[in-house]
Amino acid sequence: MNAAVRATVRVGLYTGAKVYFVHEGYQGLVDGGENICPATWESVSMMLQLGGTVIGSARCKDFRTREGRMKAACNLVKLGITNLCVIGGDGSLTGANQFRTEWSGLLDDLVRAGKITEEGAKKSSHLNIVGMVGSIDNDFCGTDMTIGTDSALHRIIEVVDAIATTAQSHQRTFILEVMGRHCGYLALVTALACGADWVFIPEMPPDDGWENHLCRRLTDVNMFLSANGDACPHRLITHNNSIHFFFLFLVTDSLGFDTRTTVLGHVQRGGTPSAFDRILGSRMGVEAVMALLEATPDTPACVVSLSGNQAVRLPLMECVQVTKDVTAAMAEGRFDEAIKLRGKSFENNWNTYKLLAHINPPDVKSNINVAIMNIGAPCAGMNAAVRAAVRMGIIQGHSMLAVHDGFDGLAHGQVEPITWTSVSGWTGKGGSALGTKRTLPAKLLEEISHNIAKFNIHALVIIGGFEAYVGALELVQAREKYEEMCIPMVVIPATVSNNVPGSDFSIGADTALNTITSTCDRIKQSAAGTKRRVFIVETMGGYCGYLATMAGLAAGADAAYIFEEKFNIKDLQVNVEHLVEKMKTTVKRGLILRNENCNANYTTDLIFNLYSEEGKGVFDCRKNVLGHMQQGGTPTPFDRNFATKMGAKSVLWLTDKLRECYRHGRIFANSQDSACLLGMRKRALTFQPLNELKEDTDFEHRIPKTQWWLKIRPIMKILAKYDIKLDTSEHTDMEHVIQKRRP
């Protein structure tokens, strides 16, 4: 929430508006006085890394009465406030819409009561409302992710990873209860991200006889989760109304397992916000201000949200209505419809979970061998993708083969079967368990084709970074000479650099981004209590500036130097002078990020020396090269979930493609669309032929020619107080959600 508050304040001030804080939510609006006070640029400094909300939040009974709303309207009119930005859940946003609907009537009553003048009422004749959804439950329909959800998942996964080690050590089964009210999103995504054996969510209660099914599955020491809504039919809950106690009794009594329960509680609401939430909050804050400034009396109250990586505006009450429809569907037992109403993201998560966790492998084998390999530098999430691909392949009846050490391993016959159990626990493992190398296949084609034939490989899943993309292209090119290469192939982008064409996101980039962001937080905190200090931090990414840019937005950087945006000595001078002026105010910290290959001459040392020299007497400098810590660590919930969906989807696509390519008793695939890259494009996972992506590739610098995130770079500069023009060419029009309600 603080990222959203910070962005709203700073972009509001940037546009020339007066911006006010309303402390303690609607209660502050009703009480007025010191609760509504002007916000300044400096008042939102050093708050990105703080959890909760610095302006406070409170449930307010007074605002539910007309009298309370009259007081609130009076306080706003006296200050000339006609635009209200509300960050909260569906209750807060519904209240805001009611306030807006009644606004004219409230002003008339206030004029009659002599509380405000007719002139004051005329100046404030219309109230614009924009909402941002802040809720860890992710229960608001129309948005993929609400502010706070990703951070809550981080807290849950930290606990789950810790519990998994004790579960293995003591051979115990663990039952976890997570928050979510009447929405199973947290439980569902956690189940996908940790490979839980069972999940209970209110949108889809288990079928009759689920107790026996669950007991059959729990032949190992395992873990399963429940959302804290009505996650299973009430008739199954015995004398104790707490669901997890019923599960505890079932597992202990029926199987004799040593079983423990953990209720995570409010730990899920606290802590430092994740990089994703900070960027989401910042982008939503910018979009909210734009929506308010563009609003007319006829514009319906809107909510700004995220769909894929696109900021969208949706009519507030349509979203509220669909959210209520979900509750009604669940109450009436229309559970399939409830899943659909939750939105595409929720439905995809549920379908992936069902496929990976609830279907037994078929008795009849397909006689298809699918090989999986990792290529390029290791990154967090690779193992989760391998696990999902292996298990989905086994479910489809295929035999799965693991190729160790990339194309090198394929050339030297390092190929072996990989089973369902051999990938257990892989979702939370960092690095690459299969082993990975940067070697490209061009000089090994003879050996590779020989081993494809020797091991009877019918399809290939290639998980990796730019080398995986280029290597797959080389295999496709070799089809003219080697018939063995005429098999379906799919590339899954996995690299911290996020530099693979055809996908807006790569597996591993979110984990690296969180590592950089949390490190920048610590670096800035290290100077607490000292004199003014500027930190120069070098990030990875090759020639791709994604990590430097997004970490700059998440950590509140003053500048981020990247290869894609050329800069010269004059730009450096402007940046230094800007920071010198800034440091003369109450601001005491500066953060400069530099992508490792942004410029061959303006090195990290040179930039450090420049800032040190020019800042003499105002601030001192420190530099940090983060290095390979950005490639390590356990994957974030986003990377685990993303990798799981990508791995599963890739094998389903290969299965369909193998059917198409089966001719005269053998597999023969030489069409362009038989070798594809699976990527996230705006709002959907799409398969794109590798050859078609060549036009959008800068092979010399190993980056795509078009990169979506470059358009949000100005946000970072505006939030750092640069007077630049904000690009609004990609205008966000109001969309609708009502028509999506019925399948």
Residue-averaged pLDDT of the chain = 88
**Helix (H/G/I), strand (E/B), else coil: 546:** helix
HEC sequence for 395-463: HCCCEEEEECCHHHHHHCCCEEECCCHHHCCCCCCCCCCCCEECCCCHHHHHHHHHHHHHCCCCEEEEE
**The token pair that represents 153 in the structure block:** 């998942």
Per this entry, what is the length of the chain?
Answer: 743
Supply 499's token pair.
Answer: 């530099």
DSSP output for 162-191 = HHHHHHHHHT-EEEEEE--TT--HHHHHHH
According to DSSP H, which parts of 256-365 are helical?
275-294, 316-331, 335-341, 344-357
Q: Which amino acid is at 246?
A: F
Tell me the CATH number of domain 149-266, given options 3.40.50.1360, 3.40.50.300, 3.40.50.2000, 3.40.50.460: 3.40.50.460
What's the N-to-C CA distance of the chain in angstroms? Answer: 33
The answer, yes or no, to whether residue 740 has pLDDT greater than 50, is: no
With vertex at residue 53, the alpha carbon angle to CA 52 and CA 55, rounded to the nearest 5 degrees, is 155
Instruction: Name 471's Cβ contacts closer than 8 Å, sequence gap at least 6.
Output: 375, 406, 407, 440, 441, 462, 464
Q: Topology of domain 1-146+273-328, per CATH?
A: Rossmann fold (3.40.50)
Distance of alpha carbon 472 from alpha carbon 450, whole angstroms: 17
Give the domain ranges of the chain: 1-146+273-328, 149-266, 369-507+637-704, 510-631
| 675-689: average pLDDT | 92
Instruction: Quote the pLDDT of residue 29.
Output: 95
Mean pLDDT of 685-691: 95
Q: At residue 315, what are phi and psi to the nearest 5 degrees? A: -60, 125
pTM for the model:
0.91
* Per-residue pLDDT reduced to its tens digit, 5-58: 999 999 999 999 999 999 999 999 999 999 999 999 989 988 999 998 999 988
Least confident of 452-456, 564-568, 678-682: 678-682
Fold designation for 510-631: Rossmann fold (3.40.50)
Beta bridge partners of 369: 399
Q: Are 430 and 404 in contact (CB under 8 A)?
A: no
Q: What are the pLDDT digits (tens) for 271-321? A: 999 999 999 999 999 999 999 999 888 888 899 988 777 788 999 888 888
Query: What is the C-alpha to C-alpha distance for residues 227 and 611, in angstroms, rounded to an integer?
Result: 51
Position 732 scores a pLDDT of 58
CA distance 178 to 155: 11
Give the three-class secondary structure for 123.
Answer: helix
Q: Angle at the Cα of 634 (from 677 to 348), degrees rounded to 5? A: 45
Whole-number pLDDT of residue 739: 43
Closest CA to 68 of 118, 34, 27: 27
Structure tokens, 384: 């989760």
* Cross-strand bridge partners of residue 734: 313
Rounded Cα distance between 443 and 400, Å, is: 26
Element of type H or E holding 689? strand 684-689
pLDDT given at position 207? 79
Cβ-based neighbours of 502, under 8 Å, separated by 6 or more: 469, 493, 677, 679, 681, 688, 693, 696, 704
What is the rounded CA–CA span in Å between residue 329 and residue 317?
A: 18
Confidence at residue 240, expressed as pLDDT on a 0 to 100 scale: 30
Residues 396 and 388: their CA atoms lie apart, in Å, by 12
pLDDT digits over 417-465, tens only? Answer: 999 889 988 999 999 999 999 999 999 999 999 999 999 999 999 999 9
According to the model, what pLDDT value does residue 524 have? 87
Task: Determine the CATH number of domain 369-507+637-704.
Answer: 3.40.50.450
Q: What is the pLDDT of residues 125-169, one digit of tens each?
A: 999 999 999 989 888 888 888 999 999 999 999 988 888 777 666
In the chain, the amino acid numbered 736 is H
The Cα 324–Cα 99 span in angstroms is 20
Q: Which is catalytic among the residues 137, 139, 197, 510?
A: 137
User: What is the Cα–Cα distance from 448 to 445, expressed in whole angstroms?
Assistant: 5
Residue 743: the pLDDT is 35
Burial class (CB in 10 A: 0-12, 13-18, 19+), 720: buried
Q: With b meaning 16 or more CB within 10 Å and e meaning fewer, what string describes 24-41?
A: bbbbbbbbbeebbeebeb
What is the rounded CA–CA span in Å between residue 151 and residue 140? 17
Sequence letter at residue 32? G
Looking at residue 233, its pLDDT comes to 29
Distance CA 300, CA 30 (A): 24
Examine the residue annotation and report whether 137 is marked as an active-site residue of this protein: yes
3-state class of 488 per DSSP? Answer: coil
What number is the average pLDDT over the span 368-397?
A: 96
- The pLDDT value recorded for residue 737 is 63
Tell me if domain 1-146+273-328 and domain 149-266 are identical in fold.
yes
